Structures are given as structure tokens and as C-alpha cells.
């Protein structure tokens, strides 16, 4: 059972130093939600190491701060034209995360192991370890959370039904752990059902 706070006390100093790097492309909010999702995934994946996964998910996107904000939406989405920027943010992210981790040296955290899964978290699609798989699932699984759905629909001015169909065709098949797949599919199924409430209740559906 989780406590009332999202972040573990060990990771709060990391969050405070990471926060100034996360104020682009909703990365600050994304990080909070993805961290919470990572904790849920870890509870179902006991072979993974939370002391690697949680600092990594907290720091994985700090590198976007060094990318021109005018170019951010060109690096993501259905048909990205600047995939090089995805790799650039990983490289920058490792540099920034190393500075933060070496400043605080959180007890029990293997800094090199954390940096190893920040490096390549988007550009390597297959899991290189169970820790990498859980971190990737927390990152990508955010797209299926209510917060992720609202955010992404706002970026691309699309509707929930279209977004969910994209997730089912593109994202969810690439979730790497049984827990990740179950959580993502469950959230998509629940929102799909919500969209049809009006149909079955005899009123207008939600959008």
C-alpha cells in the first residue's frame, strides 16, 4: 500500500533539483504521474529494483530543457520529423541527471545503473533489463492515464476516442511487462466505456 505522498522521501531532493528542468512540454506533470505509475508497476514486478527505477523515471526527461521548445512537437507524435532530438534529449538528460545524482548521492542508489536506463529510454524499444522495462512502461504508460490522455489530446487537438485507438494500435502492444500491459489496457477500456455511457443511459455521450 502506498503512503499519501507520490515521491519517496529519498527522492524528494532529486525532484526539487529536477523540477526547473521539467517545465517544458508538461514534463513536470508527466513526471509526477509517471512516478506514481512506476510505483504501481513495481508493486506488481518484485524482481525490479525500485532504487533504480524510481530515480530514473524522476529524472528521465530533464534533457528536454536543452531542446529548442519550438521543435518539441516535431520530435514526438505519429509522424515525427526530428527523431534526432529524441536522442539529443537522452544525452542531455544523462548529463543533467548525473549532476543531480552526484550532488545528492541518495542512499542505496546505484547512480550508474540509473543513468544506464535514462540513456536510451526512448530510442531503444526493447527492454535491456527488468528495471529498464518497468521504467519504459511507466513512461509510455502515462499516455493511457487520464492525465496523459487530456494532455496529448490538447497537444494535437484530437478527441479521446481517436487517441485511444492510436494507443491500441501503436503504444499498448509495446508495453513490456504484464503489469504495464494490464494497466494500460484497463485504463483504455475504462475510458472507452465512459465515452459510451450516454449511449446506454439514453443521453449524450461524453467527449
- Give 53: exposed, middle or buried? Use CB within 10 Å, 0-12, 13-18, 19+: buried
CA–CA distance, 12 with 200 (Å, rounded to integer): 45
Q: Is the pTM for the entire model greater than 0.75?
A: yes
Which CATH number goes with the domain that contains 51? Answer: 1.10.3210.10
pLDDT at residue number 190: 94
- What is the reported pLDDT for 131? 98
Residue 170 has pLDDT above 80, yes or no: no
Q: Please tell me the total count of domains within the chain.
A: 1
* Digit-coded pLDDT (tens) for 8-58: 999 999 999 999 999 998 999 999 999 999 999 999 999 999 999 999 999
Q: Which domain holds residue 59?
A: 9-201
Pair 183, 37: CB distance under 8 Å: yes
Cβ–Cβ under 8 Å, residues 15 and 5: no
Domain membership flag for residue 15: yes
Is 206 within a domain?
no
Q: What is the mean pLDDT of residues 171-178?
A: 81
The answer to the question of residue 4 being in a domain is no
Q: What is the pLDDT of residues 63-106, one digit of tens each?
A: 999 988 877 777 776 677 787 888 999 999 999 999 999 999 99
Quickly state the pLDDT bin for 204 (edges 50, 70, 90).
low
Does residue 2 surpass a pLDDT of 50? no
The whole-number pLDDT of residue 1 equals 38
Does a structural domain hold residue 184? Answer: yes
DSSP secondary structure string for all residues of 58-96: HHTTGGGGGS-GGGGGGSSSSS-S-THHHHHHHHHHHHH
Residue from 83, 75, 112 nearest 97 by CA: 112
What are the tens digits of pLDDT across the range 98-155?
999 999 999 999 999 999 999 999 999 899 999 999 999 999 999 999 999 999 999 8
Amino acid at each position: 500500500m502506498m503512503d499519501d505522498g507520490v515521491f519517496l522521501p529519498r527522492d524528494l531532493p532529486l525532484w526539487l533539483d529536477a523540477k526547473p528542468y521539467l517545465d517544458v512540454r508538461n514534463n513536470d506533470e508527466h513526471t509526477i504521474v509517471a512516478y506514481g505509475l512506476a510505483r504501481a508497476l513495481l508493486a506488481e514486478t518484485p524482481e525490479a529494483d525500485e532504487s533504480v527505477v524510481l530515480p530514473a523515471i524522476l529524472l528521465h526527461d530533464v534533457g528536454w530543457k536543452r531542446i529548442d521548445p519550438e521543435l518539441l512537437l516535431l520530435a514526438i507524435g505519429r509522424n515525427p520529423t526530428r527523431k534526432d532530438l529524441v536522442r539529443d534529449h537522452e544525452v542531455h538528460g544523462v548529463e543533467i541527471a548525473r549532476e543531480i545524482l552526484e550532488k545528492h548521492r541518495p542512499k542505496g542508489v546505484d547512480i550508474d545503473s540509473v543513468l544506464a536506463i535514462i540513456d536510451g529510454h526512448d530510442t531503444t524499444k526493447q527492454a535491456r533489463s527488468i528495471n529498464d522495462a518497468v521504467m519504459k512502461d511507466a513512461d509510455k504508460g502515462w499516455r493511457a492515464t487520464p492525465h496523459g490522455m487530456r494532455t496529448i489530446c490538447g497537444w494535437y487537438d484530437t478527441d479521446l476516442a481517436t487517441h485511444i485507438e492510436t494507443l491500441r494500435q501503436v503504444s499498448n502492444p509495446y508495453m513490456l511487462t504484464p503489469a504495464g500491459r494490464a494497466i494500460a489496457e484497463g485504463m483504455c477500456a475504462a475510458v472507452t466505456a465512459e465515452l459510451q455511457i450516454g449511449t446506454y443511459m439514453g443521453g449524450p455521450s461524453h467527449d
